[in-house]
A and B are shown apart, each in its own frame.
Chain A
Amino acid sequence: ERFKAGKSGPSARRPDNSAFKQQRLPAWSPMLTANTVLPFFYFMALSCMLLGVWLLLTVQSTQELKLDYTKAGSCDECFEIHNSASCRLFQGDVFFYYGLQNFHQNLRRYMDSRDDGQMVGRTTNLKNPSTYCEPFIKDQKGLPIAPCGAVANSVFNDSFTLSYHGGSSGPAVPVPLLRQGITWYTDKNIKYRNPKDGNMTLAQVFQGTAQPRYWQKPAYELDPRDPANNGFINDDLIVWMREAAFPNFKKLYGVLYRAKKPFIKGLPAGNYSVDVSYNFPVQHFRGRKQVVLTTVTWFGGQNHFLPIAYLITSCLTLLVAVVLTVAWCKFGKNGRNMEE
């Protein structure tokens, strides 16, 4: 019996007459009527159109130069390639990327093969990396690898020097690139930290660990001149450790330093050369490597997809709106379709 305490008398079991229990809660019942749907569609079409055009104009103002240098690996020392496709000033901040194609940073086992605990500087993890790092936990001698895992092991190790050859004459001027500040703030300052142990130097802390198998130098020697860019907080390492979502990706290598002439306004038109120290092997997995120079806007890099997608959506919406208007005029306007 569902008698309620404090209730008695002949109507003790009468249900409460509350709006909730009687399902009479005040409510808004929206309906798809011509008055709401059709204006909405036209409005959508128009706003998508405007947005698309605006984005397109924005994207058009960015400049991008891509250079595939995969084949350069066939030459032993270094390789020069001439490309005169673009002859305009790269205005504003210019970003220098390296790109990889067909490199699967997004394989599950590859992605899992890292130890964030080690990279955040936990000394226990440094000497005793997580089993996720399999099969790059320990080297042949049984020393723990730091940084462990497949991701860190396969870090991209080509290096680039960009040179400006002026208008026509003169010696090549190396284009100054900022090689720091190319990571997310959170990565640089929170996610990656060097292990600390009293006053010991980084090399001492790393004592008893091995460098990753494919590395030429240990982690504490990545940038010996700058402690803020050494060890786990080396910018190149951090950029690499932020795994790409897709097999074709590009990663930031450096930003144009615009303090000195002639780079104050950006990269002036002219001849440039890139010296590549070619270390990273891609041929065996049919990968491609490229360097990318690009400028950005508030909308990011050069990305034509969204503007075009908005324009297409706008057209589609408009088309649908017209069809719906016709359908409504023919059937629904006089309300005859609502009769029984």
Chain B
Amino acid sequence: MPLNLFEQFQRIANAYFLFLLVLQVIPQISSLSWFTTVVPLVLVLTVTAAKDATDDIVSKRVFFLCGKWMNVQVGDIIKLENNQFVTADLMLLSSSEPLNLVYIETAELDGETNLKVRQALTVTGDLGEDVEKLADFNGEVRCEPPNNRLDRFMGTLTYAGQKYPLDNEKVLLRGCTLRNTQWCFGLVLFGGPETKLMQNCGKTTFKRTSIDRLMNVLVLCIFGFLAFMCTVLAIGNCFWELNEGSNFTAFLPRQDGNEATFSAFLAFWSYVIILNTVVPISLYVSVEIIRLGNSFYIDWDGKMYHAANDTPAEARTTTLNEELGQIQYVFSDKTGTLTQNIMTFNKCSVNGKSYGEVTDSCELHHNKLIVDFSFNSLADPRFVFHDHSLVEAVKLENPEVHAFFRLLALCHTVMAEEKREGELFYLAQSPDEGALVTAARNFGFVFRSRTPDSVSIVEMGRQRSYELLAILDFNNVRKRMSVIVRSPEGKLSLYCKGADTIIYERLHRSCSKLMDEFAGEGLRTLALAYKDLDEEYFNGWKRRHHEVSTSLDGREGKLDELYEEIEKDLLLLGATAVEDKLQDGVPQTIELLSKAHIKIWVLTGDKQETAENIGYSCNLLREEMNEVFVVSGNSPEDVRQELRSEVSPIGKCFPSHPIHFFVLIAYALERGSELAFLRLACLCKAVICCRVTPLQKAQVVELVKKHKQAVTLAIGDGANDVSMIKAAHIGVGISGQEGMQAVLSSDYSFAQFRFLQRLLLVHGRWSYLRMCKFLRYFFYKNFTFTFVHFWYAFFCGFSAQTVYDEWFITLYNLVYTALPVLGMSLFDQDVNDAWSFQHPQLYVPGQLNLYFSKKAFFKCALHSCYSSLVLFFIPYAAVHDTVRDDGKDVADYQSFALLTQTCLLFAVTIQLGFEMSYWTAVNTFFVLGSLAMYFAVTFTMYSDGMFLTLPSAFPFIGTGRNSLNQPNIWLTILLTSILCVLPVVTYRFLFIQLCPTINDKVQVRQAKATPPPPPRRTRIRRTSSRRSGYAFSHAQGYGDLVTSGRFLRRPALPRSSGFSHAGRTTTSFSPMGRSAGYSPTGRPQNAKVSDVEVTSLQMYKTIRDPAL
């Protein structure tokens, strides 16, 4: 407790009030009783202490969460099990899988969704699961110092006198998730803050809002102004003492014969005490309370609650609310934030005929439309497709359709796992591929198992085994993959699937180029083609292939040539369209936010193609953005060159073609080219940065913060977003998923990206509006209150006499005006949430700082000046030469004090009424209650009993009774109220008539019309231009893995005919850990949720579900 007090007095504001208290103890200076400062100070300190205490409890909770990880030390050996997070940087020792492989998902680190393989050294792999051997493991690792490079590791292991090199392939980084691996052991290389992930996390800085900073500047200005006023009054005092005071010494001798100058010096400090209310003690505490209240609204918001995983929104920081109303830039992660990480097989086109339509969720009657796959006992029950004609085509044995699905079942690198008869698990290295193979499975072409040289599929119930002769693997240049198989009948075929543009170039001349209809819908299209091979030719090719594979130099180039040679003159089979399922409402949210002039940049560690595609499907990129600038240089020099050359054409055509988008590859962030990058990026409509490391994400945010002076928000879900979440003014974490790092370092968290629109356009806007209204009104009421003292000084010989009763001074801010203004700042809304969404432009004033700025503050001060003139001189003129209706005194000091303070209270209360645009019952109660409170307290303070108890503290006895029954007192109050209100109403009304703001317009509309219907979730149509990319989250190398046989860890089950199994089969699709929470068919609690849209989608899920 004393410690807390000490900390509180370190805050400049509190120290200031302590200083005032000290001043008041000096009798020569003390112009107010001690209680006028003590009571507010004690109250403020108590409230702040209470708030600090709750904050402490919160931070302790977080600390406890981190506790487990903290116990991990370098040199420990850790056992990890499937689907566990890696909590430190580990050197892989051994694993359950053959050849000491482990599979990991790195989405938390770099946003890529495909699985990656890590392999332990053979020496350590031999340790296996034997805990004793592992405990005896005695090796020495020398490696680089902790750094933030995620893609590089260098070190050596010395074990048993032998040195082994260590590279990135043998290291598991913190933030990865173990997949498809039962267990593995690892040696901790770096722990805690030394891990590469934490090195990428950036610094935690104390965040303050721009209003905070403005407020600090203003408070400093006010201090200056206070000093100025006090100086003026002190000089006035000096002159008065010289001219008048010296003649008055008979009645009031100077203390100890002080000179006029000394008296002026004392007057200066006395006026510091009296006028201290211009820097209101309760300002900071009220601001905190308002922010806390508005944070609670976020926590309580039912429309930001995600039922599927029972996650409400959470305001983890309670000090940043109003900044939510001023966001100019949103930096978003891609994977898991915009997308759900779920791939769905949506459409296909076979032989020119298109199947499957994208259903509009509004007109969904899925029970009728869902295709029944019961004919196929191996089908995945969760696969949903809406076009019956495709099944009919399969059942009618349409040869093209069969070939189509056969290709899908054969041409891939998926592994099947069948633990029990008929219970299939597909292990795909990328979710899109899994989606395709599962689609084929449901349409009767079930991929069952593979060996290094064969693929077993069940074709419409018939078990068939294809000889796998070659896999022409995927890579980023080829953008396709092929397999060469021999059918059981002995026919030799090449099946190829790949990016449509790539495939088209390789089609046989006779082939018509059909199908381009889905490309425009943001689906990932993939063209399928095949060709029958000549046995002789293939044998020759095979021989050459073998030669090339074993050659040492230039192998890859030669292989590519070979592949190129055989993948030509293909015959087109059709195309598939896979949807990378976005989170609900993402395109609408992005559209709404961009209408609110919020710029959205996507920062992702993923590949360019993937990012671009998501950009299109979530409406960030539009077809009309025809000028695409891609900066993709691989070295700093290249990038600088590119940036230079790109800026000039954009600059030239900027006025005529303001629509561009811009894709940036990470290297552009090297030192020296940042500014060029920023200049270029800001010229573009949409910006997507790919291949950025977590730290670079933070750099981008910092860059915009620093050079654009813009308020930024970063939203992300994974550990790779932590740095940008920390760097941005506001960090938002997507919660309710497995990873917690992003949420833990975020300021706000909620479960769905689409809640961002509500957070910004409703909560943010209201918070900003409320805070600004609060500050404007708060400064107004305190300035008005204080300036009256200033005017009175000219009548009381600058003697630091107060105008009001001391009790009124004490209670004015705390009791009489506190609740109404708090009520306004907690309840006010200019337009309701539905209209806020209807008119996103309402958000713009916040970005431009229109509601509260130095100018607004200055206006406030001028208004206060006017009000205080009215409030002092009208009562002065009204009473100074008059008497009561019974001839007795009414121009005495006490009556005048009562009159002025009553006038003031009425004036500021009426002013509050004009500020408030949303009168709830609570507000009305607060306003009227405070007025009633004023009279109640005043009459109590001025009562006989109080006086007789403490005569010196309550000298105003009887003033209330004797003044407030006078008609001219009430007429004076009425007149001051009218004169205070008149200019305000006139000014506002004129402004509404002449140049209404957007708020006025929407308010008028809201008053006239019923609330608009909630915006229809219409699917955003796009014009068709083709975008495609094969296997966007695919990586090279799996072909080799498959053919080498390393992948196969369990012997295939002895197989009977596919259709004879009893019971349903299930696919559990492991790779996509983070999407699990979103799959409506996933966890049990999700099953009953009806508001999740179920469209014609195949959902995958990650966690093996025991219920199924």
Contact = CB atoms under 8 A, between A and B. Distances in A.
A16 interface: yes
Nearest to B963: A184
A320 B993 CA distance: 14
Q: Is the interface of B mostly helix, strand, loop or mixed?
A: helix
B989 A303 contact: no
A29 B918 contact: yes
Indicate the size class of the contact surface on chain A.
35 or more
Contact of A104 (B244, B944, B986): B244
B251 interface: yes
B626 interface: no
B373 interface: no
A317 B996 CA distance: 23
B146 to A, nearest CB: 33
Nearest to B827: A25
A150 B952 CA distance: 16
Interface stretch (A74-82, A168-176, A330-338): A330-338
Most chain B Cβ neighbours within 10 Å, of A22, A108, A286: A108
Interface string B415-458: 00000000000000000000000000000000000000000000
B962 interface: yes
A298 B893 CA distance: 22
Interface string B866-884: 0000000010111111111
Interface stretch (B302-310, B656-664, B1021-1029): B302-310
A161 B311 CA distance: 89
A140 interface: no
Contact of B883 (A153, A190, A300): A300
B31 interface: yes
Contact of A93 (B766, B887, B920): B887
B921 interface: yes
B1001 A306 contact: no
Given A11-B307, A21-B300, A284-B250, A245 B892 contact: yes
A294 B881 CA distance: 12
B951 A246 contact: no
B307 A14 contact: yes
A150 B1007 contact: no
Interface in B917-955: 917-923, 944, 947-948, 951-952, 955
Given A153-B251, A338-B1004, A32 B892 contact: no
A200 to B, nearest CB: 22
A222 interface: no
A55 B992 CA distance: 36
Interface stretch (B228-236, B672-680, B971-979): B971-979
A316 B982 contact: yes
Interface in A289-340: 294, 296-303, 305-306, 309-310, 313, 316-317, 320, 323-324, 327-328, 331-332, 337-340
Interface in B52-106: none
A130 B952 CA distance: 9
B958 A182 contact: no
A26 B919 CA distance: 8
B829 to A, nearest CB: 7
A23 B829 contact: yes
Interface in A139-180: 150, 153-154
Most chain B Cβ neighbours within 10 Å, of A21, A107, A131, A339: A107
A228 B188 CA distance: 97
A28 B919 contact: yes
A134 interface: yes
Contacts of A294: 883, 887
Contacts of A154: 251
Interface stretch (A83-91, A236-244, A267-275): A236-244
B889 A313 contact: no
Contact of B996 (A248, A306, A338): A338
B312 interface: yes
A30 interface: yes
B795 interface: yes
Contact of B958 (A41, A108, A186, A284): A186
B882 A15 contact: no
A259 interface: no
A25 B923 CA distance: 11
B12 interface: no
A116 B947 CA distance: 9
B884 A300 contact: yes
A23 B297 contact: yes
A110 interface: yes
A247 interface: yes
Contacts, number: 292
A199 B801 CA distance: 41
A115 to B, nearest CB: 7
Contact of A184 (B922, B962, B1088): B962
B801 A106 contact: yes
Interface in A1-35: 2, 10-17, 21-23, 25-34
B990 interface: yes
A252 interface: yes
B270 interface: yes
Contacts of B301: 15, 21-22
A247 to B, nearest CB: 7
A14 B305 CA distance: 6
A306 B887 contact: no
Given A15-B301, A255-B887, A110 B918 contact: no
A27 B799 CA distance: 48
Given A28-B919, A135-B253, A286 B883 contact: no
A244 B874 contact: no
A28 B957 CA distance: 40
B985 A184 contact: no
A171 B995 CA distance: 78
B636 interface: no
Interface in B229-264: 244, 247-248, 250-253, 255
B922 A296 contact: no
Interface in A215-237: none
Interface string B892-913: 1111110000000000000000
Contact of A296 (B270, B883, B889): B883
A122 B951 CA distance: 10
A196 interface: no
Most chain B Cβ neighbours within 10 Å, of A15, A242, A297: A15
A284 B893 CA distance: 24
B982 A320 contact: yes
A301 B883 contact: yes
A187 B896 CA distance: 17
Contact of B252 (A28, A34, A109): A109
B966 interface: yes
B1088 A10 contact: yes
B887 A32 contact: no
Contacts of A303: 878-879, 881-882, 968
- The 5 A-B pairs at the shortest CB distance, nearest first, are namely A186-B958, A245-B896, A21-B300, A303-B882, A95-B887
Given A28-B919, A150-B251, A244-B893, 10 more contacts: A10-B307, A30-B917, A31-B917, A32-B989, A130-B952, A245-B893, A286-B247, A300-B884, A310-B971, A327-B993
27 contacts: A10-B307, A15-B300, A23-B829, A25-B921, A26-B920, A29-B918, A32-B985, A41-B985, A95-B883, A102-B244, A104-B799, A108-B799, A109-B255, A187-B958, A242-B893, A245-B895, A246-B876, A246-B891, A249-B880, A286-B244, A296-B884, A303-B879, A306-B878, A309-B877, A310-B975, A324-B990, A340-B998
Interface of B: 27, 31, 244, 247-248, 250-253, 255, 270, 297, 299-303, 305, 307, 310-312, 766, 795-797, 799-801, 827, 829, 833, 874, 876-897, 917-923, 944, 947-948, 951-952, 955, 957-958, 961-962, 966-968, 971-972, 975, 978-979, 982, 985-986, 988-990, 992-996, 998, 1000-1001, 1003-1007, 1085, 1088
